[in-house]
Chain A
Amino acid sequence: MMNERDDGTEAERTMISRAAVPTGPVDGTLVHALVQEADGTPIQRHPLDGTTLVVGRVAPAAIVLDGSAVSRRHCMLDRAGDQVTIMDLGSTNGTFVDGLRILQPVVLADGARIQVGPHTLRYERRRREEAHAAASLASDIAKARAYVNALLPPPITDGPVRAAWTFQPCASLGGDAFGYQREGDWFSAYILDVSGHGVGSAMHSVSVMNVMRQRALPGTDPREPASVLAALNDMFDMDKHHGMYFTMWYGVLHIPTRRLSYAAGGHHPALLHASGEPRALPGRGAGIGTMPGFPYRTATVDLPAEARLHLFSDGAVELAEDVQETWGMPQVTAALCGPGDWAQGPDRLYQRVRALSGQRPLDDDFSAITLQLG
């Protein structure tokens, strides 16, 4: 349902504020905040310092959220001591607390999820020292997110192999990474997904990205996928890396012959889309770091002219339990390979995942890459 149009000319936007770090002595007093999580952006923490706070689509609301489903003055939070109450301000589309539309003021419990249009805000009540730690962690995650983003390759818009991608890290960082590069007649690409979430997983993925970027696998031919995965498996044994492993797909294309060699280490198969029906390129192999000495195998396939290759991570396939039954590889394939601009395929898939998830923040990083030949 859409909100009525306002006649003002003010620009709609999401107001981004820096993560608020609670100040004052560490004395055990409670700190109240609304935490805003959105894919691809750092966590925003809005402190409830005053007695009232208005959420709406335009200033002077203290928290400004964009979107036509958000009313100009949507809802208000009222703090009395350590009790916080929320009330709807006659919004068109309503205010929801833990999935239920509120019809009268409601006292918020710690962790309550407030839905305003497409946005979710979580009410958080913590001791000041805990809030300090949470703000510090959010800052570290934001820095790690920026670092991972800086290492990703730019899209390729011309040449024999073009590339487009969508990468949306989840709020806690899920350890996704990918890369590609051309060296003469050879074009290599990979995608990886580290087990677990958080700064540790992101650090692990960054380590692997740097190894791949710098071709820092001793005695390994980067044109031989199985040997690349075997070398990484040796280098990143999970017992030596805090129990973390990662799944990976790595492929190398010989551009003149269009012969693709690839190997998989526990990752989702790549999708090949040429003239006929899209098909998964089968691949079986241990997650990198899980089984010392695992014998990875290189498979080869000759690609037709103008073939497309799609790579993606868990975040594109594994959704929340309540929507997972309606989502799987057929739906992923349809979104990636459907009609329309090839370069929009990854974003089409992301928008489908977001819509199916009710615009909630995703639980895992989302990565999808499309490589277009010819």
Chain B
Amino acid sequence: MKYELQAPTPGTCRVVLVGRADAAGVDLIETGLSAELRAKEGHVVIDLNQVPFMGSLGIRMLISIARLAARRGARIAMTGVQPQVLEVFETMALLDLIPHAPDAEAALALVAG
């Protein structure tokens, strides 16, 4: 699994995740991603267009990012959630915590308030 941090607008960080978010994949990126996000400020958009599978540790990583954003008063949204992943998120009510936007532009609008 890989990740990339982008700055689509001032004050917003886009996290692009790539690959299966299973135990092995999450283990590769979680520490580095958390450290980089802690050093940033502003709202967060998580791009899941290239994530075909989300296991329990992947969900834990998303929740940790959401809690980090909440602690510093920032907003968070997701975009590009694949149908099979969306089903898991709906079962877990994860969309109550991290709202899902249909595309990148809508996600930016969501966090901009």
User: Are chains A and B native binding partners rather than an unrelated pairing?
Assistant: yes
> Which positions in A face B, CB cutoff 8 Å?
193, 195-197, 238-239, 243-245, 247, 264, 266-269, 283-287, 290-291, 294, 314, 318, 321, 324, 363
User: How far in angstroms is the closest Cβ of chain A from B38?
Assistant: 14
A286-B93, A287-B92, A291-B96 known; A239-B59 Cβ under 8 A: no
* Distance between A243 CB and nearest chain B CB, rounded to angstroms: 6
Q: Which residues from chain B sit less than 8 Å from chain A, CB to CB?
A: 20, 22-23, 53, 55-57, 59-60, 63-64, 67, 90-94, 96-97
Residues of B within 8 Å of A193, CB to CB, are: 56
Q: Are B93 and A314 in contact (CB under 8 A)?
A: no
Interface of A is mostly: loop
A–B Cβ pairs within 8 angstroms, 22 of them: A193-B56, A195-B60, A196-B56, A196-B57, A239-B67, A243-B64, A244-B60, A247-B56, A266-B93, A268-B91, A283-B91, A284-B93, A285-B93, A286-B92, A286-B94, A291-B96, A291-B97, A294-B93, A314-B56, A321-B22, A321-B53, A363-B22
A193 vs B57: C-alpha distance when bound (angstroms): 12
Which residues does chain A contribute within 8 Å of B97, judged by CB atoms?
286, 290-291
- Closest Cβ of chain A to B44, distance in Å, is 17
Q: Which residues of B contact A285 (CB under 8 A)?
A: 92-93
Beyond known contacts A239-B67, A247-B92, A363-B23: 12 more, CB 8 A cutoff = A193-B56, A195-B59, A195-B60, A196-B23, A243-B60, A245-B60, A247-B56, A284-B93, A294-B96, A314-B56, A321-B22, A321-B53
Closest residue of chain B to A283 (Cβ to Cβ) is: B91
Residue with the greatest number of chain B CB neighbours at <10 A, chosen from A264, A267, A286, A324: A286
Cβ contact within 8 Å between B60 and A238: yes
Which residues in B have their C-beta under 8 angstroms from that of A266? 91-93
CA distance A318 to B58 in the complex (A): 14
A22 to chain B, nearest CB (A): 26
A287-B59 contact in complex given A239-B67, A247-B92, A321-B53, C-beta closer than 8 Å: yes
* CB proximity of B113 to chain A, nearest CB, Å: 21
Known A195-B57, A196-B23, A197-B23: A245·B90 in contact at CB below 8 Å: no
Residues of B within 8 A of A238 (CB): 60, 63
Q: Cβ of A363: which chain B residues have Cβ within 8 Å of it?
A: 22-23
Give chain A residues whose Cβ lies under 8 Å from the Cβ of B57: 195-196
Complex: chain B residue closest to A282, CB-CB: B91
A268: nearest residue on chain B (CB-CB)? Answer: B91
Residues from chain B with a CB closer than 8 A to the CB of A247 are 56, 92
A311–B96 alpha-carbon span in the complex (Å): 26
Partner of A318, one of B55, B60, B94: B55
Residue in A closest to B88 when the chains form the complex, CB atoms:
A266
Give chain A residues whose Cβ lies under 8 Å from the Cβ of B63. 238, 245, 290
- Collect the chain A residues with CB atoms within 8 Å of residue B67's CB: 239
Q: How far is the CB of B25 from chain A (nearest CB, A)?
A: 10
Whole-angstrom distance between the Cβ of B57 and the nearest chain A Cβ: 6
- Which residue of the partner chain A has the closest CB to B52? A321
Could you tell me the distance in whole angstroms from the C-beta of B93 to the nearest C-beta in chain A? 5
Residue of A whose beta carbon sits closest to that of B93: A286
Residues of B within 8 A of A284 (CB): 90-91, 93
Please provide the 7 A-B residue pairs with the shortest distance between their CB atoms, ordered closest to farther.
Answer: A266-B92, A195-B56, A286-B93, A195-B60, A290-B63, A287-B92, A196-B57
Contact check: which of B20, B53, B92 meets A290 at CB < 8 Å?
A: B92
| Chain B residues with CB below 8 A from A283, complex form | 91
Closest CB-CB distance, B23 to chain A, in whole Å?
6
Best-buried of A264, A291, A363 by chain B (most CB within 10 Å)? A291
A287, closest chain B residue (CB): B92
Knowing A321-B20, A321-B53 are in contact, say whether A196-B93 is a contact too (CB < 8 A): no
* Residues in A neighbouring B59, C-beta threshold 8 A: 195, 287, 290
Cα distance, A266 to B63, chains bound together (Å)? 13
- A294: chain B residues at CB < 8 Å are 93, 96
